[in-house]
Structure 1
């Protein structure tokens, strides 16, 4: 799909969609039924192609499936899926649809178009990286502490079947990476070095200590001892005879062949079609048609603005050196590393939750029912992981989980933890994702859609609510939120720099060290993250700036009629949508509220 067509789709008139979940025009019953059947089928057929999405949503029908998404037959099926539903949905006239249905039509068309365009590139020749690829999620599922259920004998058998299919995908990954070596699609050496120990961790020779053994080390009540013994034996054989050899094969390939073929450059511009892919990635992750140069310049402007705010905090705490020296002080200040064990860090996050609870009602009339937990990131992926939110199940039986990596509690720096909690937990991702999943008005396919510009933009926007929620009373914690915002502003500069301006990994790291207080190890991990997944890091700031712009506009135009709770409800009730659709909706709400 060409850029002009996508831009045109995003610019379609959506005046009738201005109150997606609240104001409805009428549609004929037959049309509405037929339209919503298409949406339901789109969702259901999508789960068959992506069964992990079902599992993560708490839908257990496909817990034994892991299709080889790298196979030509699967790619053909995916393309047919998108094109057939595009043709079906275009048969419905907007004049016959309700406001919610019209919004859903636009979202579905955008979703289909962006996915079809992505299939034009050869991203599948680099199917594994250190942060984003399926082997990491699969490790989480294997632990028995994530979305894959281990409650019945059938659950345990489902996992065995899923492991078999996953190992087919892992083998196909090596085949594709070998093809990539011949066609010039390879990862940077610095990323390959991070993947090797991840694979090696899965070759643990002591079966009882292996990650994949954990589900049989913790049987639930209700499984007989006889079944436990049978399953335990089967899992030992699976790990010893299948899992360990497959991971050892991948590790050896990476170590002995792929590393030598890895590239010394950092950006996608050095790959075939790399520049074109980056333009696509900007579209995918920002849901805009901004250019790389526009984003780079915006980043430079935001960095300069935030530095001025940081200078004020530096003066407030009485630090005498320059800003870079203050960054160094914050990174190494032992007063900001007060903990000795991970449990204390988790308890601190839970205390933040208690602090903000009384204020949340003042800002949000719409709040989720889904439970919430804070957990330490699992050891096998902790060294390469960032803090993250994993959604709860659609039915609310599995809580939303905020994972935070704590490789060493004694060196864990707390200066940005309040903004981190707001972003990943409440009212950030937990509110945004859970409310979408709990919605009684959105069609099913929209409850699991993820557009990074909206989702990450919302989470970054919520960091600015800290003072309104009773946080940021400590100047270092306020500096932390400025640092978190700076971190996202810097991304606009370094991501575009790496992928369009020839910046090296080292130049990008140096720029970050000059402008933010993150540790060098943390910055290095972040830069390598951007190298692995171009464009994703742009979504946070682009989305945040748009939501903040819409709030400022509503505040100015509505005056005394502006209610922050209503604004947040308007933003949250539609779930993830492209930013152009969100802007049209909020503009309609402003006009109606006048």
Structure 2
């Protein structure tokens, strides 16, 4: 900790919460390239995945928790109570991450994606102005190599402790590492056009230095990581079974992952039951929706029709964009009836970089920044002959408005929030849960009155609901891979066997617990609203409810419940 105060200090608990928050922000800002780039600051170093770094972060978080306990955060009121709840949950997440460092996957496709992000975030936008920039760039390339090396060290350390990536996931792991090796070698390369503002000596130093670092440090680090994951002994000992229950202390780790990702206290057993209940209800609603479309056969037969239904496919990226914009045009005039304050930042849609489309199922939301002030959903327009737009309405309402954009833009625009709460999107249950709740508002707004859009929304809801079943079932050891595959195939309307296989490996070998955030968060928001409606009766104001939720930014659900009760009393 960099700022500690004794119990004898005269400052109030709220003032101490402010100091702790500032201290935590400074700690993270010094270590997180994503926060530095959002603030327009130069990136000086890249973090690694070493146990030492994990212990440092966990130790800092434990210090925050110790100090919070002396302040009795339950006695705080107003914004200080929200910040205390935020701090406590954030620090608990970091402390748990340190505790389960050796049980957290690292050398798996989604976990390794950060290495690709460094290309987009740090290396490609890097500006060469002076010789000092040339030296800083070389230092960053060396840091990238060190980061990859720490991933290799962790993978080897995990194997020494009996933790192996399951055999079914290893081919995808090795393919990902091989592709990242080639990609990193390309994106750190500084072409001549980017170096024109440097003097001749500095240009040569950058070119020669980067080439040498790639050959002597970066590529060897990838090669060693690949060697760890390809070692004959590793392959022999890698389990065929997937899921965290198969590891020593794995169930305890999984329960911690679930708490972190869902930002709530619902145990995984209850989430499993909830998923089954929701899947049953949604299956019934989908049957009714098929009847509204004039179809009376079995769902499997209807799925065959979905693959060839002309209105669900378009031929050009421009038509994809027009479909999304059409859904947004229907939404826009309705927004003032549901939201008291709208984000100041505009929003729109644009095609994803075609080079990234093959590796992303859909696309992603890109929040507004000082350099790019428009929040944008970057959509995937590849393979349009096989890319159904059945769920286009539900997708754009989730990804853009009133989903992610309304949360993240409002949060970043709220200057009354401390920097830590404005800049971090650390509670996935809130983030994805709000986006799912916001897309669900389309039912009340009449945005799914077209039966095809309605069916697409229901199919999307059921897809997120089945994740509650299979993620928990696989990781608690109550479902085999074959049972999970059968359940998912029965509750995923249009996914291929290949997509299902990839999804299941994601849940049980790569991001355990993350897939729960969508439906679990949705359930938290709907339950919170239901409780508010019950208390207010005929006086319930949906605009006030939404403002109570969004004005405080992302919070863990226990803190959010306390905030909403306070704001709406």
RMSD: 3.2
User: In the aligned structure 2, how far is the partner of 1:46 from the partner of 1:349?
Assistant: 36
Paired residue for 1:587? 565
Q: Where does the alignment leave 5 or more consecutive residues of structure 2 unmatched?
A: 1-9
User: In the aligned structure 2, how far is the partner of 1:562 from the partner of 1:459?
Assistant: 22
Superposed counterparts of 1:202-213, under 5 Å? 202-204=180-182, 210-213=186-189
Paired residue for 2:417? 442
1:428, distance to aligned residue in structure 2 (A): 1.0
**1:452 pairs with 2:411:** no
Say if 1:217 and 1:419 are closer, same or farther in 2 by CA, change over 3 A. farther
User: In the aligned structure 1, how far is the partner of 2:376 from the partner of 2:84?
Assistant: 31
Superposed counterparts of 1:529-548, under 5 Å? 529-531=506-508, 532-548=510-526
Say if 1:297 and 1:124 are closer, same or farther in 2 by CA, change over 3 A. closer
Task: Name which of 41, 47, 56 aligns with 2:23.
Answer: 41
User: In the aligned structure 2, how far is the partner of 1:346 from the partner of 1:255?
Assistant: 43
Paired residue for 1:299? 275
Moved more, 561-570 or 343-352: 343-352
Superposed counterparts of 1:57-456, under 5 Å? 57-61=38-42, 63-72=43-52, 74-92=53-71, 99-123=78-102, 126-131=105-110, 133=111, 135-143=112-120, 149-153=125-129, 158-204=136-182, 210-213=186-189, 216=191, 219=194, 223=197, 231=206, 234-257=209-232, 258-330=234-306, 332-336=307-311, 338-372=313-347, 373-376=349-352, 379=355, 382-383=358-359, 385=361, 387-393=363-369, 395=370, 397=372, 399-447=374-422, 448-456=424-432
Q: Secondary structure at the match of 2:377?
A: strand
Q: Where does the alignment leave 5 or more consecutive residues of structure 1 unmatched?
A: 1-27
1:544, distance to aligned residue in structure 2 (A): 1.0
Paired residue for 2:6? none
User: In the aligned structure 2, how far is the partner of 1:218 from the partner of 1:505?
Assistant: 51
Superposed counterparts of 1:545-584, under 5 Å? 545-584=523-562
1:117, distance to aligned residue in structure 2 (A): 2.9
1:289, distance to aligned residue in structure 2 (A): 3.0
Q: Secondary structure at the match of 1:119?
A: helix
Moved more, 313-322 or 182-191: 182-191
1:94, distance to aligned residue in structure 2 (A): 5.6
Moved more, 536-545 or 249-258: 249-258
Paired residue for 1:522? 499
Aligned length: 552
Say if 1:204 and 1:281 are closer, same or farther in 2 by CA, change over 3 A. closer
Q: Secondary structure at the match of 1:60?
A: coil
Paired residue for 1:504? 480
* Cα offsets for 1:60-107 (capped at 9, x unmatched): 24x1211223142x2332233112223334444669955111221122
1:410, distance to aligned residue in structure 2 (A): 2.1
Q: TM-score, normalised by structure 2?
A: 0.87
Q: TM-score, normalised by structure 1?
A: 0.83
Moved more, 489-498 or 375-384: 375-384
Q: Secondary structure at the match of 2:365?
A: strand
8 Å Cα contact 1:370/1:434 also seen in 2: yes
Paired residue for 1:484? 460
Q: Secondary structure at the match of 2:493?
A: coil
8 Å Cα contact 1:336/1:413 also seen in 2: no
* Cα offsets for 1:345-399 (capped at 9, x unmatched): 3443344334422222322222223354534266357436554334344x57465
8 Å Cα contact 2:351/2:378 also seen in 1: yes
* Cα offsets for 1:279-315 (capped at 9, x unmatched): 2122222233333222211111111111111011110
8 Å Cα contact 1:198/1:381 also seen in 2: no
Task: Name which of 49, 55, 63 aligns with 2:36.
Answer: 55
Q: Secondary structure at the match of 1:247?
A: helix
Say if 1:564 and 1:241 are closer, same or farther in 2 by CA, change over 3 A. same
* Cα offsets for 1:451-490 (capped at 9, x unmatched): 1221111111011122455633432221111111101110
User: In the aligned structure 2, how far is the partner of 1:37 from the partner of 1:112?
Assistant: 15
1:255, distance to aligned residue in structure 2 (A): 3.8
